[in-house]
Amino acid sequence: MDELGRFKDILHDSDTYRGRVAYFKSSSMDGKVLIFSSGKMISVGTTSEEKAISELEQTEELLVDREMIGAKPRRLQTKIRNIVVTADFRRNIDLEELSKRHKMIYEPEQFPGGILRVEEPYKATVLVFASGKAVITGLKSSRHIKPSVDRVAKIIDSQSI
Protein backbone atom coordinates (compact mmCIF):
# COMPACT_ATOMS: atom_id res chain seq x y z
CA MET A 1 0.00 0.00 0.00
CA ASP A 2 2.83 2.43 0.75
CA GLU A 3 3.91 2.42 -2.91
CA LEU A 4 0.50 3.86 -3.87
CA GLY A 5 1.35 7.03 -1.93
CA ARG A 6 4.05 8.00 -4.43
CA PHE A 7 1.41 8.94 -7.04
CA LYS A 8 0.01 12.47 -6.79
CA ASP A 9 -3.61 11.45 -7.41
CA ILE A 10 -3.56 8.74 -4.73
CA LEU A 11 -3.59 9.73 -1.09
CA HIS A 12 -2.07 7.19 1.25
CA ASP A 13 -1.04 7.87 4.81
CA SER A 14 0.35 4.93 6.76
CA ASP A 15 -0.99 6.48 9.97
CA THR A 16 -4.57 6.60 8.68
CA TYR A 17 -6.41 3.31 9.26
CA ARG A 18 -3.01 1.74 9.95
CA GLY A 19 -2.11 2.19 6.29
CA ARG A 20 -4.77 -0.24 5.07
CA VAL A 21 -6.53 2.18 2.72
CA ALA A 22 -5.60 4.62 -0.04
CA TYR A 23 -7.84 7.16 -1.77
CA PHE A 24 -7.88 7.72 -5.53
CA LYS A 25 -9.39 10.90 -6.97
CA SER A 26 -8.88 12.23 -10.48
CA SER A 27 -10.23 15.41 -12.05
CA SER A 28 -12.60 13.34 -14.22
CA MET A 29 -14.23 11.69 -11.21
CA ASP A 30 -17.31 12.89 -9.32
CA GLY A 31 -16.40 10.94 -6.21
CA LYS A 32 -13.37 9.04 -5.03
CA VAL A 33 -12.42 5.41 -4.71
CA LEU A 34 -11.08 3.86 -1.55
CA ILE A 35 -8.53 1.12 -2.26
CA PHE A 36 -8.01 -1.43 0.52
CA SER A 37 -4.99 -3.65 1.03
CA SER A 38 -7.34 -6.65 0.70
CA GLY A 39 -7.91 -5.68 -2.95
CA LYS A 40 -11.44 -4.44 -2.38
CA MET A 41 -12.47 -0.97 -3.52
CA ILE A 42 -15.36 1.29 -2.54
CA SER A 43 -16.73 4.13 -4.63
CA VAL A 44 -18.10 7.10 -2.66
CA GLY A 45 -19.54 10.43 -3.69
CA THR A 46 -21.01 9.58 -7.10
CA THR A 47 -24.55 10.41 -8.19
CA SER A 48 -25.48 7.14 -9.88
CA GLU A 49 -24.76 3.44 -9.77
CA GLU A 50 -23.38 3.62 -13.31
CA LYS A 51 -20.95 6.41 -12.37
CA ALA A 52 -19.78 4.46 -9.30
CA ILE A 53 -19.04 1.38 -11.41
CA SER A 54 -17.30 3.53 -14.03
CA GLU A 55 -15.04 5.07 -11.39
CA LEU A 56 -14.20 1.63 -9.99
CA GLU A 57 -13.26 0.51 -13.51
CA GLN A 58 -11.17 3.67 -14.00
CA THR A 59 -9.33 2.91 -10.75
CA GLU A 60 -8.71 -0.68 -11.82
CA GLU A 61 -7.24 0.57 -15.13
CA LEU A 62 -4.99 2.98 -13.25
CA LEU A 63 -3.72 0.19 -11.00
CA VAL A 64 -2.97 -1.98 -14.05
CA ASP A 65 -1.26 0.93 -15.90
CA ARG A 66 0.94 1.63 -12.88
CA GLU A 67 1.69 -2.08 -12.52
CA MET A 68 0.14 -2.24 -9.06
CA ILE A 69 -1.94 -5.24 -10.16
CA GLY A 70 -1.49 -7.69 -13.00
CA ALA A 71 -2.81 -6.90 -16.48
CA LYS A 72 -4.43 -10.29 -17.02
CA PRO A 73 -8.05 -10.01 -18.05
CA ARG A 74 -10.16 -9.39 -14.99
CA ARG A 75 -13.71 -8.47 -14.39
CA LEU A 76 -14.78 -6.34 -11.49
CA GLN A 77 -17.38 -7.95 -9.29
CA THR A 78 -19.48 -5.00 -8.18
CA LYS A 79 -22.20 -5.00 -5.57
CA ILE A 80 -24.29 -2.04 -4.47
CA ARG A 81 -24.38 -2.19 -0.68
CA ASN A 82 -25.37 1.25 0.54
CA ILE A 83 -26.85 4.17 -1.31
CA VAL A 84 -27.01 7.37 0.75
CA VAL A 85 -29.58 10.02 -0.13
CA THR A 86 -30.15 13.51 1.23
CA ALA A 87 -33.64 15.00 1.22
CA ASP A 88 -35.05 18.40 2.14
CA PHE A 89 -38.73 18.38 3.13
CA ARG A 90 -38.68 22.20 3.21
CA ARG A 91 -40.39 22.61 6.55
CA ASN A 92 -39.40 22.46 10.18
CA ILE A 93 -40.03 19.17 11.91
CA ASP A 94 -40.95 18.76 15.57
CA LEU A 95 -38.61 15.89 16.40
CA GLU A 96 -40.01 15.51 19.91
CA GLU A 97 -43.52 15.01 18.51
CA LEU A 98 -42.30 12.75 15.71
CA SER A 99 -40.47 10.53 18.21
CA LYS A 100 -43.69 10.19 20.25
CA ARG A 101 -45.78 9.23 17.21
CA HIS A 102 -43.26 6.84 15.64
CA LYS A 103 -40.54 4.52 16.77
CA MET A 104 -37.84 7.12 16.31
CA ILE A 105 -34.83 7.46 18.58
CA TYR A 106 -34.37 11.08 19.58
CA GLU A 107 -31.91 12.08 22.27
CA PRO A 108 -31.11 15.77 21.60
CA GLU A 109 -28.40 15.90 24.25
CA GLN A 110 -26.45 13.25 22.30
CA PHE A 111 -27.35 13.95 18.66
CA PRO A 112 -29.32 16.79 17.04
CA GLY A 113 -31.44 14.52 14.85
CA GLY A 114 -33.80 11.63 15.18
CA ILE A 115 -32.97 8.12 14.01
CA LEU A 116 -35.88 6.50 12.24
CA ARG A 117 -35.82 2.92 10.98
CA VAL A 118 -38.06 2.29 7.98
CA GLU A 119 -38.92 -1.24 6.84
CA GLU A 120 -41.30 -0.43 3.97
CA PRO A 121 -41.13 -0.10 1.04
CA TYR A 122 -37.39 -0.76 1.52
CA LYS A 123 -35.34 -1.20 4.62
CA ALA A 124 -33.46 2.01 5.45
CA THR A 125 -32.22 4.14 8.32
CA VAL A 126 -33.15 7.80 8.25
CA LEU A 127 -31.57 10.68 10.13
CA VAL A 128 -34.25 13.37 10.46
CA PHE A 129 -33.33 16.92 11.48
CA ALA A 130 -35.53 19.74 12.82
CA SER A 131 -34.58 21.83 9.78
CA GLY A 132 -36.58 19.45 7.58
CA LYS A 133 -33.52 17.81 6.11
CA ALA A 134 -32.92 14.08 6.21
CA VAL A 135 -30.28 11.52 5.29
CA ILE A 136 -31.52 8.14 4.11
CA THR A 137 -29.02 5.28 4.21
CA GLY A 138 -28.99 1.60 3.43
CA LEU A 139 -30.78 1.55 0.09
CA LYS A 140 -29.62 -1.08 -2.39
CA SER A 141 -30.82 0.41 -5.69
CA SER A 142 -31.46 3.83 -7.16
CA ARG A 143 -35.00 2.58 -7.87
CA HIS A 144 -35.55 2.57 -4.10
CA ILE A 145 -34.87 6.29 -3.65
CA LYS A 146 -38.18 7.88 -4.64
CA PRO A 147 -40.42 5.35 -2.85
CA SER A 148 -38.28 5.70 0.29
CA VAL A 149 -38.33 9.51 0.24
CA ASP A 150 -42.11 9.37 -0.30
CA ARG A 151 -42.48 7.01 2.67
CA VAL A 152 -40.45 9.28 4.95
CA ALA A 153 -42.53 12.28 3.81
CA LYS A 154 -45.69 10.35 4.66
CA ILE A 155 -44.34 9.49 8.12
CA ILE A 156 -43.42 13.12 8.75
CA ASP A 157 -46.87 14.30 7.60
CA SER A 158 -48.99 11.62 9.30
CA GLN A 159 -50.31 11.52 12.83
CA SER A 160 -49.81 7.75 13.07
CA ILE A 161 -48.56 4.84 11.00
**Domain tally for the chain?**
2
Q: Examine the domain organization and report whether 60 and 88 are in the same domain.
A: no
Q: Which residues contact 160 (CB under 8 A, 6 or more apart)?
A: 101
Contact 4, 19 (CB under 8 A): no
Which range of residues forms the domain containing residue 45?
2-65
Q: How does pLDDT run across 104-122, given as a tens digit for each residue?
A: 999 999 999 999 999 999 9
Nearest-5° Cα angle at 41, 35 to 44: 95
Query: In terms of pTM, does the model score above 0.85?
Result: no
Q: Examine the domain organization and report whether 8 and 57 are in the same domain.
A: yes
Q: Examine the domain organization and report whether 153 and 87 are in the same domain.
A: yes
Q: How does pLDDT run across 20-70, given as a tens digit for each residue?
A: 788 888 888 899 999 887 888 999 999 999 999 999 999 888 888 877 776
| CATH for 144 | 3.30.310.10
User: For residues 9 and 48, which has the higher predicted lDDT (pLDDT)?
Assistant: 48
Contact 139, 148 (CB under 8 A): yes
